[in-house]
Amino acid sequence: PPPPPPPDLLHKVSNDWRKLIARSQDELRHLLRTHVPAGAPIAVTFSSWAYRPFLFNWILLGRDALQYPVVVAFDDPTAEAAARRGVITLALDAGLEMSDFRGKPMVFHQMAAAKSGLVELIVELDYPLLLSDTDVVWAKKPYEHFELYPEADVLISNDCVSPRADEQAAAATPKLIELMGVDGGKSKPHHIYEQARKIAGAQPRCGHFHGTRNEFGVNTGIIFFKPTPATKAFIRTWHGQLQTEVDAYKKDGTKVPYAGDQKVFNEHAMKGVYPVRCLPNTTTGRTLWAWEGKLKLAPLPVRGFTNGPVFFVNRLQQSTHDVPYAAHATFQFQGAAGKRMRFREQNLWALDLEDSQYYADGFFVTWAPQVPEDLLLEPRGEQIDCKRDAKDGFQECDLAHVEVVAHHLRQIRGGMAIAQALNRTSVLPHALCYCDMYWNVITPAGCRMDGSDLIQPFECPYDNILRVEHWEHNEERLGKAQLYLPRPPAFLKSPHLSPAVRNSQLTVRVVPHEEWAKTYPRQRVCFKACAGDSDPLSLCMRDCAGGVTIPEGATGAQLRQMLDGARSARVLRVIGAGSALATPGKDASAPKDFNDAMAEVLPATWCCNKAGTRKHKLPEPLTGRREDANVAIEAALRAPLDESILGSGANAGAATTGAAVQPEAGSALPVAALGGDVPLADYARTVEHDAPLPGVPTPAQTLRPESFSVPLVEVVRRAHSEYSHPATFVAFGTISAKAQVLNWVDNMLRRNLLSHVVVAMDDQLHAALLAAGVSTYHLDCGLGNGDVRGSEEGFRQLGMCKVAFLYGMLARGVHVVLSDNDALWLRDPVPYLLDPKWTSAHIFISTDCLGAIADAAMTGPAPSEKDRGVSTDGGSEVSMRLKYGAEGDLSKLPWYAHPRLGGHAWERNGNIVESAFNTGMLFFRASAETLQFAREWVGAMDDAMQAFRAGKQMHVRDDQQAFNNLIRDHFLPPKVVVPQTTARIFRAHAGKLALLIMPLSVVANGHTYFAQRSSQVAGLVPYGVHNTYNFHGSDGKETRFREAGLWADERAARGAALAQVASGASAREKFLTWAPGVPIDVLAPAGKQTAPAMAHMRAVAYQLLSMRNAAAYANVLNRTLVVPPMMCYCDRYYNVIAGGDSPEKASCRAPGSDLVLPFVCPMDYLIDPGSLDKAGLRWRSHAFLGGGHTGGDAEPGAAALQRSTPRRLPQREVSVALNVAAASKAVDDTLALWGITAEIRELLAASGAFAEGPLLASTGGGDGGGGLVGMVADVRMSETQAQAVASVGGAAAAGLSASGEGAAGKGAVLTALQTAADADVLVLSSAATAACGDDAKALGAANGAVQGIFTSMWCCTPKGTIPHNKLPAMDSAC
């Protein structure tokens, strides 16, 4: 939700506030008719003095969202306070207490009766009424959403904690009505009901789908009443029961067994609700019959009207960037104190703004949140499924949660001791948890609420791990121990934080006392020197002393002395706080008051286990001064000040610690020589400090490093001294790309490219990288911890931060090699980039060009203007075709006229057309020209941000588009800067710099490397490969890297499997695969010629049928599926390439590509790899068995691909007879399911031709099907591709035989596979028709489990996409 209103609104007092108070129902009627138009919606909340802070928060944050707010106050002081804020208020004398009466059932029941009575009053006046609890925050107006339910009487929030299940249930309503009938399926058998539950994605508390028989939970914290007759009748019944019970209690003390308006509301609303009957033909699918069929009730979507788990725990809004209408602080465990902390953690507690000093004044201590890797369950803290092995109470997530929280508690204890010693306020960092918190047992549900969408580990609210309630209730006693309630993590990111605090932060590292004693003399002198320096203290101390450190085991008095020079820093960020202090006090004894106070606020138990509550591991109390450390610390503190350490001048040591270190002579200009108007170093420091970028309107978008584990000066120092490397490799990432980032790092280490840094752009990735020991720099761009690619503002913000970081590096004189985290360097490119031949080039850029052959021809001088046709019509497409090819045939074009060279050779009217430069792999030579360009690049991104926020049309979505616009500005006709060298260097950026376009043989893109395999065919290892032209997002990218042997986890798993085989381990992972290839008679039934597009459809269908069956066998046998190489007879692209009305749209190839058909295609061409994981299928790519790409593992500088055959897992073939006729019929049935009509068949039949003839020759017969079209049929295939095929296509010495169709009813294939249980890898010679007879029955359940994997599609026809989303029944191919 947006930030609170500015302070002036908070202090605004209505002069006529007394006129806004009604003291009777009649007065309230008068006020409403005076101030509220007839029929306008009224928003009402109720409050007593005890909940006054929540009431004020509700008023202040709901000003822009709620129309005509009304407060019902249960005492006069609360009524006056609300009216002073300009809100219509009813002072209701209900005889209630001013204190919190939630723990007093009958008092609470009295409140409920008064509440329902006022609802009845207002609705009877024909006002629509939005009833809201005070612990609801309203972010935007909900009324337009309410209009989506014209048929409903009452709209209500619900307690479902799975937005996915909530939305699936609503979307399934039409199908469920068809399945269950309009009566909800009262008489339907149980198996039909279970089918309905599956369709609806039923989860606990989400049972509002048509036909459900239980699990329906609503919450009266948010209700919208329409003044319909049915609504009025229901409210009268609701209020009538509450009032009757209250009257009975007052008369004779009769108590009710329950208390509260929600329980009575639910009792009546739920009468006759089961089985749930949804109204047909509604917009939302949510409205259902309630109250014995007399009331139409609609549960509101939990994504828009969030509850506590969804908003504060799952934090859905941060991952999706969706702003909900409201957030309700439900499912919370520490009363008002816990709710208040949760609101503060999200910067949603407006009352902090009423304290003018809260954000403006003070000195603070915070600490780094990183968790040691050995405490994380998955490698490097990756997402984990905590449901596995969680049936019997506590399991690994439970245990890991206790250990991780114990780490947090040690850090909290240490950080608060430092804060007490320095008389500063502590600020909590983000906390990682593996387990949620709930009132009931949750470990069997995966350590989270049953039915929750929570992704673990997660950032948990602090009321889950601290006794926040104790802190507030015992504030005076804890204050005597100087232990004050800490600020939440969001404090330092609040848009209201004073710049004086934000821009004055200093990182302090805790080190062993021996190490500290060696560095403290210099640190001490630097503090004195920096006191008079104009630089910020943090930068001065880094340049002078390499940073600030404190020793383990110090006392509070010693800490104050050693950090005396840091008194001016408003925020100290401590790395390693857990071991910093032995005692915060002055003396050496154990700090009893501090220890007792910490014991009061640290949690003793955790909930949720079958064995009962679990005890937390609390940190040991501080024990007082450590004598081993005290001697060294005291000696260093008492030593005389030696100012000669710095040499001549206060900053003489700066150059040796990494400040503005210059690369080799002649390659770059010193920073001081860059000249110009701006203090460039100051601009560069926007990356290193907390100052905003120019033009960024709010601090929310400011670059805010959380900690400087690798400061910029350290990056520079490593590049030029420790690694002796003339350039620094930089990649960027957010937590959503964590797997790719870690793979990028692994690849850099394997190539010995040590001069690299990953810029982490959110807290979670930074913590994960620190835990993994990765060289990381934290650049907080205000992006949250979610995927920003779907957010227009977030993606622009990310791009601006990337370019600002680049600017900071260039300003320090560093050559920078930028790469996306899905772009891998296979060899060190710097020798190529710094080759003397290219000294005139300032920037090196990669290209999206698809024509590798034409691209390779760009080696001579640029063409003349006459050859380019500029003298006639500017080199237009028409003149190019007339001059070089008739009838649109571009095959005769010279290289510089080719339309798919990414625009770097074809020109129209002096401007580049079809420009396809890609910023995924870039090199910037440190120079005045590139620094100026980077400055303008930041400015272009800032302009895009400003335009976007102003609601203007802006076509710059990301940094790549901004780069292309700047580069193409007055792009000069293609001509070399140095004519004797190459035609790849162009004058760009209005002639202010030279751009070199790297050949595809140097940097390959996703199509040329993974589909065309141009580099491999030529026997070359490119310097780098960028995983572009990919399908299915990050899952598709990961799969391509897996198939190429470039995915670290797959290589590690393969090594582990080989080691298990070598050691003879009995309990080891087993695998199953099938031989690749497609029968010719399936591709071309009855010997008919088949065009590539139809052959492709048939080949895809056949291979998916094979995969379905093999996956089912693997599931039943508990084996990991290995997907063999896939054959494609048509490319996959974003536009029409088959059945079109031009050669380019009917070639079955991406325009301009050199693709030879058929070809070994990436797996993401055929299937969504992520669906395999979602279906719970264990799988590996064919590279796991050896062969395939080698991933460029050749030594740096090698000219040819290394072809040493890797070790392989032992394989055994199971020979399965192939029924070609049945397979062909199954393929035909599949195409019919995909919607391939006769019209589409005719369209595709006219598409293109194969490169080597109509249809490639068979590799042999003997299987009754005319042979398989083997992989080696592709004449362009490299030796390594042939190895990949051989690894899964050849039979081992000990083969088995089975007949899938001849032994129908006997389960022959499954029996044969079970007989070979000892084999490490089982290879089915054929899988498409294997699952017949008893096998089909035995595999039925597994078949259902793997059906969900077929969720992809094929693009590329004038009739639209063709889905690969269904397969016929398993035994249809028998």
Residue 609's closest CA among 313, 402, 371, 334?
Answer: 402
Instruction: Work out the percent of the chain whose per-residue pLDDT is above 70.
Output: 75
Among the ranges given (86-100, 563-577, 1015-1029), the one the predictor scored with the smallest mean pLDDT:
86-100
So what's the pLDDT on residue 1046?
93
Q: Quickly list DSSP for 935-955.
A: HHHHHHHHHHHHHHHTT----
Q: What is the pLDDT of residues 914-956, one digit of tens each?
A: 446 889 999 999 888 898 898 888 888 878 777 777 777 666 7
pLDDT grade, residue 1148 (50/70/90)? confident
So what's the pLDDT on residue 911?
32
pTM for this prediction: 0.54
Higher pLDDT, 919 or 726: 919
Token look-up 């101390």 returns: 541
Higher pLDDT, 1252 or 206: 206
pLDDT grade, residue 808 (50/70/90)? confident
Helices (H), 891-973: 928-949, 959-967
Higher pLDDT, 485 or 1261: 485
Mean pLDDT of 1260-1276: 30
So what's the pLDDT on residue 213?
85
Mean pLDDT of 1320-1343: 81
Mean pLDDT of 511-540: 85
User: Which amino acid does the sequence have at 751?
Assistant: R
CA angle 770, 773, 775 (to 5 degrees): 80
Is the pLDDT score of 691 beyond 70? no
So what's the pLDDT on residue 1346?
65
User: Which burial class, exposed, middle or buried, applies to 1086 when counting CB atoms under 10 A from its CB (0-12, 13-18, 19+)?
Assistant: exposed
So what's the pLDDT on residue 1073?
93
So what's the pLDDT on residue 1007?
92
Residue 203's closest CA among 261, 233, 160?
Answer: 160
**Which distant-in-sequence residues (6+ apart) come within 8 Å of 748 by Cβ?**
729, 754, 756, 825
Q: Quickly list DSSP for 528-577.
A: HHHHT-SS-HHHHHHHHHSSEEEETTEEHHHHHHHTGGGTT-SEEEEESG
| Average of per-residue pLDDT values in the chain | 76
pLDDT grade, residue 96 (50/70/90)? low
So what's the pLDDT on residue 1086?
62
User: Which burial class, exposed, middle or buried, applies to 63 when counting CB atoms under 10 A from its CB (0-12, 13-18, 19+)?
Assistant: middle
Rounded-to-integer distance, Cα 660 and Cα 814, Å = 8
Q: What is the pLDDT of residues 319-345, one digit of tens each?
A: 665 789 999 999 988 889 999 999 999
Is the pLDDT score of 1302 beyond 60? no
So what's the pLDDT on residue 1263?
33
Among the ranges given (478-492, 690-704, 1134-1148), the one the predictor scored with the smallest mean pLDDT:
690-704
Residue 141's closest CA among 353, 326, 335, 372?
Answer: 326
So what's the pLDDT on residue 956?
72
Is the pLDDT score of 142 beyond 80? yes
Among the ranges given (646-660, 728-742, 1235-1249), the one the predictor scored with the smallest mean pLDDT:
646-660
Strands 1296-1298 and 1321-1324: unpaired
Is the pLDDT score of 410 beyond 70? yes
Q: What is the pLDDT of residues 1067-1107, one digit of tens each?
A: 889 999 998 888 888 887 765 656 788 888 889 999 999 99
Rounded-to-integer distance, Cα 935 and Cα 808, Å = 10
Which of the residue ranges 403-412, 772-781, 1298-1307, 1365-1374 has the most confident prediction, judged by mean pLDDT?
403-412
* Inter-residue contact 1298 to 1214 (CB < 8 Å): yes
Helix (H) or strand (E) holding 1214: strand 1211-1216
* Inter-residue contact 108 to 39 (CB < 8 Å): no
Among the ranges given (345-359, 408-422, 965-979), the one the predictor scored with the smallest mean pLDDT:
965-979
So what's the pLDDT on residue 378?
67
So what's the pLDDT on residue 1283?
36
So what's the pLDDT on residue 868?
40
So what's the pLDDT on residue 1289?
33
Phi-psi region for residue 898, left (φ > 0), alpha (ψ -120 to 50) or beta? beta
What are phi and psi for residue 512, nearest 5 degrees?
Answer: -55, 145
Is the pLDDT score of 888 beyond 60? no
Higher pLDDT, 901 or 623: 623
Percent helix / strand / coil, the chain, rounded to 5: 40, 15, 45
First to last CA, the chain: 58
Mean pLDDT of 516-538: 85
Instruction: Work out the percent of the chain whose per-residue pLDDT is above 90.
Output: 25
So what's the pLDDT on residue 674?
23
Strands 136-138 and 458-459: unpaired
So what's the pLDDT on residue 1038?
93
So what's the pLDDT on residue 609?
65
pLDDT grade, residue 1329 (50/70/90)? confident
Is the pLDDT score of 661 beyond 60? no
Which of the residue ranges 8-22, 139-153, 718-732 has the most confident prediction, judged by mean pLDDT?
139-153
Rounded-to-integer distance, Cα 694 and Cα 939, Å = 8
User: Which amino acid does the sequence have at 783?
Assistant: L
Higher pLDDT, 6 or 121: 121
Among the ranges given (605-619, 874-888, 1016-1030, 1101-1115), the one the predictor scored with the smallest mean pLDDT:
874-888
The secondary structure of 808-870, three-state, reads HHHHCCCEEEEECCCEEECCCCHHHHCCHHHCCCCEEEEECCCCHHHHHCCCCCCCCHHHHCH
Q: What is the pLDDT of residues 545-602, one digit of tens each?
A: 878 999 998 999 999 999 999 999 999 999 888 888 888 876 667 788 888 888 888 8
The overall longest dimension of the chain from CA atoms, in Å, is 107
Is the pLDDT score of 632 beyond 80? yes
Mean pLDDT of 645-663: 37
Whether residue 275 is preceded by a cis peptide bond, meaning omega within 30 degrees of 0, is yes
Mean pLDDT of 1277-1295: 33
So what's the pLDDT on residue 1177?
86
CB 381: neighbour CB atoms within 10 A?
26
Which of the residue ranges 412-426, 591-605, 839-853, 1064-1078 has the most confident prediction, judged by mean pLDDT?
412-426
